[in-house]
Amino acid sequence: MNESRYGNRDERNHYRPFKRVDYPPLFVWPLQPIKGLRWIFSIPGYFFPWNMIYVLTGISAWYLLSPPLENFSKITLENISLLFMRNSSFVAIYFGAFHVRLYIQKKQGTAFKFNPNWPNIKSKKFMLGNQNLDNIIWTFGSGVVIWTLLEVGILWLAANNILNVISPTDRPYYFIFMILTVHLWRDIHFYLIHRFIHCGPLYRHAHYIHHKNNNPGPWSGLAMHPTEHIFYFSCVFFYLIFPFHPAFAVVTLVHAGLSPAPGHAGFERMILKNADFDIDAHAHYLHHKHFECNYADGILPLDRWFGTFHDGSLEAQEKMKKRLKEQAVRK
Ligand SMILES: [Zn+2]
Ligand SMILES: [Zn+2]
């Protein structure tokens, strides 16, 4: 598969896709209802492929791979361990699949790889001098632990009737609506907390850990300081203010836990057999490269609305530089 059909390389050999980062035709003015509807049901679109992977994994996690809700009326080491093992397995399989194919087997070499270099295996800025090992330690040692503890805590609230738990058979439309809009809520939440943790003190305390990865790989996705993990997985608290079902919390946490893998893969496209497809990593790669742009990483055009959007073009680069200069003058 020839990457030159899709992009070119700059003087430092960094890959630049021709395709600009863009948003689906849902939140544009004037409205484009037919195009928007078509996008929702097309592939790639709102549901397929990514959202469905997370929704189906989350639903299976609750209905097939969790103890019944009443078991959570007491917080026990057994419940915590079971959910920790379940969540760790999801992460190991999903993040591992991207890592093995792209970084161990190197199935497509550096084709479509934004940064031509492989992750650092001799760098003092990473634990054990190795970017991948450092990222994996943060992922399991902090990320999956905090994900699991928040999940157990919320299930404890539900099991003790502190939350108003609904039955999906009594309120099927509400149940489906809440599950299928997880992605939209997560977009807004991620944008807000991400801008917040870019503030000086919080950045220096926590978010700098994630930004050590200016050449990210899949494992960089959840490589965060524990403070950032608490902010990041706090998206699950949104569901406490509405009539609740445990599946809402589990799907949201699975979405937050797994979706960073393709977004940090470091490649624009993946090649499988004779086909190749966009894995939606360009917008967030630009964030890791330039820091002060593309704080959101989803389908809502929040960066465009708030003036922090970078579509990968040289014009966007100039616009960002001008914005940062003006900010510096104001300070
Ligand atoms: Zn990131
Ligand atoms: Zn950031």
* Average pLDDT for runs of 10 along the chain of length 331: 91 96 90 94 94 97 97 97 98 98 97 96 95 98 98 98 97 97 96 96 97 97 98 96 97 98 97 92 97 93 96 96 91 75
pLDDT at 2: 83
Q: How far is the CA of 44 from the centre of ligand 2 (A)?
A: 26
Which helix (H) or strand (E) segment holds residue 8: the answer is strand 7-9
Supply the pTM of this predicted model. Answer: 0.96
- For residue 308, the ligand closest to its alpha carbon is 2
pLDDT at 107: 96
3-state secondary structure of 80: helix
- For residue 260, the ligand closest to its alpha carbon is 1
Query: CA-CA-CA-CA torsion for 177, 183, 188, 191, nearest 10 degrees?
Result: 170
Q: How far is the CA of 114 from the centre of ligand 2 (A)?
A: 18
Is-contact 299 183, C-beta < 8 A? yes
Among 295, 158, 146, 147, which residue's Cα sits nearest to residue 239? 158
pLDDT at 1: 66
pLDDT at 298: 87
- Residue 116 lies in domain: 3-330
Q: How far is the CA of 125 from the centre of ligand 2 (A)?
A: 17
Q: How far is the CA of 208 from the centre of ligand 2 (A)?
A: 8
Q: How far is the CA of 189 from the centre of ligand 2 (A)?
A: 14
Q: How far is the CA of 103 from the centre of ligand 1 (A)?
A: 18
Number of domain units in the chain: 1
Is-contact 205 227, C-beta < 8 A? yes
Q: How far is the CA of 194 from the centre of ligand 1 (A)?
A: 10
- Alpha-carbon distance of 30 to 259, in angstroms, equals 31
